[in-house]
Amino acid sequence: ETKSVVTVQRNFRRNYCVNPPSDKIIRQWFKAFKETGSVLKQKSPGRQSVSQEKVDRIRASCLRSPKKSLTRRSLELGLPRSTVCKVLHRRLRLTAYKIQLVHHIKPADMVKRYDFEVSMLDKIDDNNGFLKSVIFSDEAFFHVNGHVNRHNCRIWGSELPHEFVEYERDTPKVNV
């Protein structure tokens, strides 16, 4: 109707009894109306979804080596770590499971365990405050034989793998 921004601002103030929008906003509205026929914001197209080819590459990588870490897998595939993580969880519905460490139990250990249990129960019966005097502290062991650190080792799968790593106790190590 009018080509003057000032006139539009005056009409706006007169009709709505509020301060008018700036000249920059009015020009943006006019441009949007010319291009789309509406002054409403258009929906953005959003992010591109991950291609099926990339999902297949990630699936093949998991089947080939399920114990590989997320970071190494992303470097191997040349994809961002966040993309690999989202595909594994959301599209492939895989979960990272921790390896469960179990002691290699020898026949002589059963007798030692039983003797320890009996002696501990006797101490608890003799002294009611015995458990309060026991101190449990955090320690870290560094094994000479390259023992598996289960905190850094995950197995990717859709079900709990029930995988155990049997290890020998009392191997040479440093306690820190």
Q: What is the pLDDT of residue 100?
A: 65
Q: What is the pLDDT of residue 143?
A: 63
Q: What is the pLDDT of residue 82?
A: 93
| Residues 168, 176: Cα–Cα separation, whole Å | 20
Q: What is the pLDDT of residue 88?
A: 93
Q: What is the pLDDT of residue 73?
A: 93
Q: What is the pLDDT of residue 77?
A: 95
Q: Which residues contact 16 (CB under 8 A, 6 or more apart)?
A: none
Angle (CA) 61-148-97 rounded to 5° is 50
Q: Are 161 and 98 in contact (CB under 8 A)?
A: no
Q: Which residues contact 167 (CB under 8 A, 6 or more apart)?
A: 101, 102, 103, 104, 147, 148
pTM exceeding 0.85: no
Q: What is the pLDDT of residue 141?
A: 56
SS3 155: strand
Q: What is the pLDDT of residue 1?
A: 63
pLDDT beneath 50: ranges in the chain: 148
Proportion of the chain in helix, strand, coil states, percent, rounded to 5: 45, 10, 40
